[in-house]
Every structure is written in C-alpha cells, then in structure tokens.
Structure 1
C-alpha cells in the first residue's frame, strides 16, 4: 500500500480525522499567507477564509455535521474570549473622557448601517447578500456570524451562505477602504494637528502642591479632605530635608510639598485648597520614583492571589497592617485611583509607597508572582461559554416582532464575556487571561470558524463571483468603507476639535480595522490613535454584533 492510498483509506476515510486534517491544513496555509504584507497592508487571518474557499472550490469537503460543529465551536470561543478581552475597558468607554469618541463611533456605525439598508429597502439587493457586504466593508466577521445565526433562526439559512459569499468578495475592499478614506482627508484635516486631547477624568492623575494656604496650616489630611470634599490621596510629604509617609492624621505645615494622586477634574479645587501647584509633570512614564528620596521606595506589585480577586482595596487594610500607602492601581493601560471601594482583580498592578521591608510584605500578601498568571483560568472560560449559550437562546420579546429576539451563538457569548470581564471579580470570578493566552484562544477560534466558513462557501464561490450582482457588492462596499469614514473624520476634527490622529484611531476602532490602525501608527507620531482605537473598539464590536441580528430579526419578523 503506497502512501497516497494509505492516506486516502486510513486517514481521510475517517470523517473526524479528515475534518481535523482539512481544517488544520486550511488554517496553516492561510495563516502563513497572512504574514505577507505589501507596503504594510495585508489580509492577516482572512487568508484562512480564502484558503477554505479555494479548497472547497476544488471539491475538498468534510462531513457536514462536523463542519457545522467546528464552525460553531470556533465562533463561540472566539467571541467569548473577545468579550473577556474588551470587558474591562467596555464600561470605561462611557466615561466622559471617551464619551465624545464613543458617540462619534456610534454615529459612524449608524450612518453605515442606514446606507446599507437603502439597497434592501428599494429591492436592489437581497437581505442576506447586503448583510455580507456590510460586514465585509466593516471587516467584521463576528457580525457576519450574528447575522447568519439570525437568518438561520428565521428559517433563511440560504441567505446566510449568500452573506458569506458577499463578505468574501468585499472584505479586501473593506480592509483598504478605510485607509483610502483617511488618506483622502489627511491633508485637509492636518491643519488641526493637535486638537483637544482629553484625559479620562476618572483616571488617576499625579500632582504636587506647596502648602501656602494659611487656612489649612496645622490641619490633618483628613480635615483637609473634608474641606475640599474631593477625592485625593497624599502619597508622601517633603518637609524641609525629611520625607514623610503621609497618613490621615498627618498635620500639614507651611512650606510642605505634598505628592497627591487625584483626578484631573479636581486639580483646580485642590490648588485652591493647598495654595500652590507645582508645575512639574509627574505623569510621565520615565520618572524613577525611587530616586526622589532615600527613605521610601515605590513599587508596583502584581496581584496574583485568587483570594484577593473581587475584594475592595479598603478590606485589605494595607496602611494599618504594613505601614504603606497605596497610591494608584494600573489595570490594563488605565491608571485608577486607589480608593477604598475600588474592586481589585487578578492582574492589577498596585503602586505601593513605603519602606523596602513593608513593600516586600505587601508583595507577599498580594502574590506578585508573574508565572502564576501564565495559566489561564479555564473554569471561568468554560462556565462563561455555557452561560453565554444560555443567554444567547433566551427569548427577548420585542413589540411588533412575530418572533422573539435571541442573541444567538455570536451575541450571547460576547455579551457574557463582556459582563464577566467587567464584573466577574465582584463575584470572585477570575476572568484574567494573559494577552498571549487570549490571543492564542481567539486566533484558534477565529481561524477554525473562517476555515469552515470558507469550506462551506467554496463550492458556490466561482459561480457567485461571476454573477452581475458581484459588481454591485463591490460598489456598495467601496461606498460603505469610504464615504461614512470621510464624513465622520471631518465632523470629529472640525466640529469636535479632535486631532486628525485621534479621529483616525477612533474611526479605525469603530470599523474594527487593525490594518488601518497600523497605517496610522506608521505615519503619525504618538499613541493618540491607539488610545482612541482602544476606547471605542469594545463598544463598536458589541454594537455591530447586536445590530446585525436586529436588522435581520426586524426585517424578516
């Protein structure tokens, strides 16, 4: 028996083995092709989808039930872990520091969605095809999965296949369309290069003040806090040639310099309270805090002990037990004030000021063991997926609809992932997943889903592309990926006074287009684009997944 005969009769004759082999081959080749870029632009993981189409078009098939299972399972783990990733930052996108950007991104989504509904309303394009065009133009495969689930629920599975085919045609256009749009308006909008860069008002802000207000001479820090009625933490006090670790009972004297952690919105009030603000910028990342004085050290301690997860900072009584001040907590890329009611979670980095011995004891209390985070908490992941599936098939009655709305396989897990990522620690659920583990799981799920989607669409792809309708898909996708972006870029910069870089990052996040973000980062200085992208991406992803289902349910209901 030669090798090919053995391969055909032993390996490919077993449906499960054949399914794993074909899907793995599709993913391996597609991901390898995804590494190639032309002038920084590439299709990335989308090559897996096109490789599936190629193999399917060549007649390579796998058992249909296994195909559906692998496709659904890949989708579930992808959207759920995506929800875990964006969950902690989802609520922060509503804070006033990001409210304007969030509203602009929602407006962009609304404009694009209405534009996509016009051809459906006038009968120029079927619902399924247009949903694929919309998802392709916005490079959003989770939204495609959501619309396919809704079409299947409304007993239109054939339209779901049409959606996949139209997405295959329009996805590359969506990838480059946003870049083209930003290039078109760059010269015009760069006249306002700086714009307004607002700091999140809930984020920790470090300032120093000189005590020169006679009204507070001799008063304790607690008494001053009552006078100001604003949140602030005094980390340390410089008094002549001494450094003092501040407590609530420490009295303030004339000439003291105090290092304060507060919020940007309170700086003006605290300046009036203390007397004079120090112009030194204490929020730079390159400050060596341990060189400020020799009596105290500042250490950033990583929370790795599970029993700390979900506890309020005040419950630990670190000041009373160890004689240290906790000044701020870094969560993801956000600096939070170390308030007593702050809910801690595994993965937080707590900044502690005190003696070296005290900081060492706090590190033992909190864990501070990096390798303890290397292993993801699989219990939370599997329980979350089960809860997400239950949520996905929970009927939601909407007046005027003949059938109840269900979030489905795409919407349920992503919503549950967001909820557990944002609020899980309050219920002592360890939702922390390292970036590498999160990326691995998401890549595995998305690659499997796209491979199966391509294998399913492959046999009909050539026939579909040759249809005249394919030209209209291309035209629609060019419009949807360029025109709304141009309009919202002008509005963001000219009306809302955001810089071009910030507006571009926001638009890339709303369009879920990391390739366009790479283009902006390679042509613009600073991290404004990445910050804006991260601010609106969670909300944009969630809204697009839900709105894709709502369109189908409302249109066919």
Structure 2
C-alpha cells in the first residue's frame, strides 16, 4: 500500500485529506480542530515512509490560493479597522505579537534553539500557517533537509498547545469576570452586525409628534437602528419611502433586533400583535441573490432603490449572518436580500439584482488569475531591512496584500475582483487543504524521528505557555484597559492567533456573531505581522 501511495501523489493527497477531515470533525473540549487536522494526518502518513511526499508545487498553489482569497474576503473589514476602535484593537494585537516574538528570541538564546526551530515555534504557538509558509520559502534554497524540516516539526509540536491555549484563556477569564454576553451584546448595534437575530413587529402610530416630519428624518435624528418596510392607512398598504409622513392610526412594519424594535416602538405608539398583511395583488416580497456585477460592491445608499425602483430592502443575509440594510451597507456577490416592492415591479427588481444561483456558482477564472498573479509578482519584490538584510513577502505575503487591496477596492469599472461568499470559502478551504497536506507529508518522517528520540516535549510546553500568556494578556488589556466589549475581544484574540477553531469556540460562548467582527478587524494585520516576524526570528535566532 505504501508503494501505491508513493507512486501516486494524487491518491496520497486525497487519502491525507479524507483522513484529516474525519479527524477534524471530532469534537474535543467543546470544539473541533477542523482543517488543521489535515496537517497531523499528513504527518502520520509521512511518518510511515520518507517516500510518502507530495510535490512542492502543491504546497505553493494551495498557499497562494488560500491567502489571496482570505485577503479578498477581509479587504473591506481591514479598511474599516482604521477607525478608533479598530486602531486600538490592531495596536494591541501588534504589541502582543511583538512581545511574543521577543519572548521567542529570548527562549532561542537561552536554551538554545536554532533559527528554523524558533521560527516554527513562533508560527505554531500563534497557529499561523502562512507564517510557517514564509519561513519555508525563505529556506527553500537550502540544501540541508534538516533545516527545512525543523520549522515544520516545531510548528507541529507547538500547534496543539496553541489551539488549546487560546480556548483555556477564554475559559479562565470569562469565568473570572463573569461575563454576561447577551446583556453586553444588546448595546453593541453600532459594530456593524447584529448580536441577535433579526425579527419584525407591527406598530400602530399613536404619538402625534412623529407626524411632524418624514419618517427618514426621524430615523436619522433618533438614530433608530431599524428598517421601516410598509404601512397601512385605512385599507391601503403602501411601501414606506424616505419622504413618507405618518399619520395617527397608521400601522407600520419594523425590522431589526428585538431590543432596537422595542425602544423604537415605544417612541412611535403601540405594538400590534398581528402581522401587517398586505394585498399581494399590489405589493409582494421576495428573497433574491445578488449576482449582478453592477450591483455588487455598491452601497444601498448608492443604489437608491426606493427612488429608482420603488423597492425597499428589509434584510440582507451573508453566509450565516443577518445584516440590517443600512444606507452604508455594501452588497457583495452571493448576498441574499429580502425585497418588498409593488408586484408589477418585482420582475424588474429581480433583474436588477440578478438572482441567478448559476451565475454565483461560476467563478471568473481570468479575473481570479490576474489578481493572484499580481500577488505572486508582489511577493517577489525584495524588502530591504537594516543591516543589509532583505525579506520577501513570497507566496504567503504577496497574494495576501494584493487580495486585501483588491478586496477593499471591490470592483474596477465592470470588473468585480471579489468572489461570491460560498465560492471564496470553498476555494479557500481547498487551498489550505493542499498546503497542510503537503507540509505534513513532507515533514512526517522527521517529525516521527524527533518524537522517537524522546525530544520535543520542551517545544510542546513552550508553545502552550506562550499561546496562553499572549491570549490572556490580550484579553485582559483589551477588556479591562481599552474597554473593548468582551463579545468583540473573543474575536480579536482569535484573529490575533488567526485560529478558526478558536473563533468557532468564541462564537459558541458568546451566542452571537459579534466575535466575527473582532476577528475580521485584526486578522489581516495579524497575518502580515506574523509572516514578517517569523522571518525576522529565523534570521536573528
């Protein structure tokens, strides 16, 4: 069987992938290790025989694809991260990573550890695969096989403690501070995602003061975080337009989070316990996909749907998250929007958004290739460092930076750089699978030899302690000193370690989607910082 796998790399790849994904689906301590288990499956296969190796090209393709798509998905979140809250979070994460790199160098000099091992320890303790890839690329011209295996072995030994260290830090501190996530989330509507599921209510207008101005003016003045859909006056149901002036006795439908709906309803009138049913011969509603490239990348305010099409968007769903459709919400390919419009206009509205699932399933290969190619070229540019040293962003950093840039731009004329959410996620996971399988199989024999020699326990302990101390310090400083919400800080610390398994655990603990905001805010900067810091450790240790 070993000979068959050694002679058929493609069969070996899928054997490692299937084994790793099965292992990754097993739940331990309330979470699953997920895709990272492919690395350990690869190590297991590689340990059986040194001939079980995958071509280096598979590693390069997987890595470049993964980091480029991460950049595309995170580009706009990265730009938004430069507001006051985002700068605080990113500054905190950067200082924490610098401290972690400093501690790693001190350990390297004290024990001592060589440069490749120290860089792998840092990448594993911070659970960052692109950082490991950057180290391997720097070493790729080395003729010494041991120097190429050393960072992977250190990474593999430190990685499990890295995942567990983050989760343990969350467990300890949330119990110490007795965090009430639901109560805290109720006041965080301005973070751009709902902390609760969206719902709707019907309100009868009894407040005469509200009838003095158009409803949009009241919404802006009172900062109501809700959407007004339609209203009934007498027996007629109409869409609420920005210039609609309500009258006493009107019944209106509101969409939003429960707490926001209750506070808004208290200013308008009385909640009615029945839905605002309208005549479907005049008005209708429909959920539809955003598949039109001319719509993707534009905000709802720019689209001006009420004025252009007489339609109102009441909900936007992206992946598993619901967004309240505010004027500054930028639509993306693959979003599902819930639209209310006149029945005669519904076909026109559908054509406007596209609503083609087939179009979303088709990837624009030329645009993907151009963007990825530009990223690879960027990665070849040498970056000068003090002392005459140079670094290259390589297959990890170059595509990531280009992805962030193009993701932030969104579109150039009719060219849409981003991919639909589902397509991006699928290709991203496939790229990561290729990389982890190759790294694991190509280092498995050296990894097994290290453990058989009774070595590596020190790296396991150091990796776990380093991860726990960095995660706990970041949580403590961010929550206690910078006063960032714990709901968001869970995502920040997961993004600091670029750890999807930790993010999944954080979302389960918080019971809402707010950790995603913290994760997206710091993930790009943390990834770039760790790519550079790991290579600096490689040079200095």
TM-score greater than 0.5 by the shorter chain: yes
Query: How far has the Cα of 1:408 moved from its partner?
Result: 0.8
Deviations 1:67-96 (A, max 9, x none): 222221121122222323333433344456
Q: Distance in 2 between matches of 1:116 and 1:163?
A: 13
1:421 aligned onto 2:407:
yes
Aligned residues: 529
1:526 aligns with 2:511: yes
Q: Is the 8 A contact 1:70 1:449 kept in 2?
A: yes
Alignment of structure 1 residues 63-78 onto 2, 5 Å: 67-78=55-66
Partner of 1:25: 15
Change (3 A) 1:195 1:382: same
What does residue range 370-381 of structure 1 map to in structure 2 within 5 Å? 370-381=357-368
**Which of 437, 441, 446 is equivalent to 1:451?**
437
Structure 1 SS opposite 2:127: coil
Superposed, 1:101-250 pairs within 5 Å as 101-120=89-108, 122=110, 124-152=112-140, 159-190=147-178, 196-197=184-185, 198-200=188-190, 217=212, 236=230, 239=233, 242-247=236-241, 250=244
Q: Deviations over 1:282-301 (max 9, x none)?
A: xxxxx997647876444443
SS in 1 for 2:382: coil
Deviations 1:29-65 (A, max 9, x none): 33333333445455433343233333433334268xx
Q: Distance in 2 between matches of 1:554 and 1:458?
A: 24
1:56–1:455 Cα contact (<8 Å) kept: yes
Rounded to whole Å, the distance in 2 between the matches of 1:220 and 1:182 is 47
Distance 2:33 2:210 in 1: 64
Supply the distance in 2 between the matched residues of 1:494 and 1:477 (Cα, whole angstroms).
26
Does the CA-based 8 Å contact 2:70-2:403 persist in structure 1?
yes
Residue in 1 aligned with 2:373? Answer: 386
Residue 412 of structure 1 corresponds to 398
Deviation per residue, 1:498-521 (Å, 9 max, x gap): 665554343233223333344455
Residue equivalent to 2:459:
473
Indicate conservation of the 8 Å contact 2:205/2:251, yes or no: yes
The 8 Å contact of residues 151 and 157 in structure 1, kept in 2 or not, is answered as: no
Q: CA RMSD in A?
A: 4.6
> Structure 1 stretch 124-133 or stretch 384-393: which is displaced more?
124-133
* CA distance in structure 2 between the aligned counterparts of 1:392 and 1:358, rounded to whole angstroms: 49
After the TM superposition, which of the residue ranges 480-489 and 534-543 deviates more from structure 2? Answer: 534-543
The alpha-carbon distance between structure 1 residues 405 and 240, as it changes in their structure 2 partners (threshold 3 A), is farther
Cα distance in 2, alignment partners of residues 227 and 538 from structure 1: 29
Normalization by structure 1: what TM-score?
0.77
User: Which secondary structure state, in structure 2, belongs to the residue aligned with residue 389 of structure 1?
Assistant: helix
Alpha carbons 2:193, 2:514 under 8 Å: kept: no
Is contact 2:119–2:537 with CA below 8 Å preserved after alignment? no
Q: Which sections of structure 1, spanning at least 5 residues, go unmatched?
A: 282-286
2:71 is matched with which residue? 83
Which of the numbers 484, 487, 490 marks the counterpart of 2:470?
Answer: 484
User: More displaced, 106-115 or 226-235?
Assistant: 226-235
Highest RCO, 1 vs 2 (Cα 8 Å, sep ≥ 6): 2
User: Does structure 1 conserve the Cα–Cα contact (< 8 Å) formed by 2:163 and 2:499?
Assistant: yes
Could you give the per-residue CA deviations for residues 358-412 of structure 1, whole angstroms, max 9, x where no partner exists? 23321122222233312233233222211110111123445x2524442110011
1:259-338 to structure 2, matched below 5 A, reads 276-277=267-268, 291=277, 296-310=283-297, 318-326=305-313, 331=318, 333=321, 335=323, 337=325
Deviations along 1:399-433, one digit per CA (max 9) or x if unpaired, are x2524442110011122223333323244333454
Are the equivalent residues in 1 in contact too, given 2:142–2:148 (CA < 8 A)? no
Which residue, out of 48, 53, 58, partners 1:58? 48
Is the 8 Å Cα contact of residues 119 and 151 (structure 2) preserved in structure 1? yes
Evaluate the alpha carbon distance shift between residue 357 and residue 101 of structure 1 in structure 2; reply closer, same or farther with a 3 A threshold: farther
The answer for the alignment partner of 1:544 in structure 2 is 527
Q: Unpaired runs of 5+ in structure 2?
A: none
Aligned counterparts of 1:538 and 1:359: Cα–Cα separation in 2? 37
Pair 1:127–1:368, CA change in 2 (3 A): same
Contact 1:510 1:541 in 2 (8 A): no
Offset at residue 134 of structure 1 (A) = 1.6
In structure 2, relative to structure 1, the CA distance for the partners of 1:388 and 1:48 (3 Å cut) is same
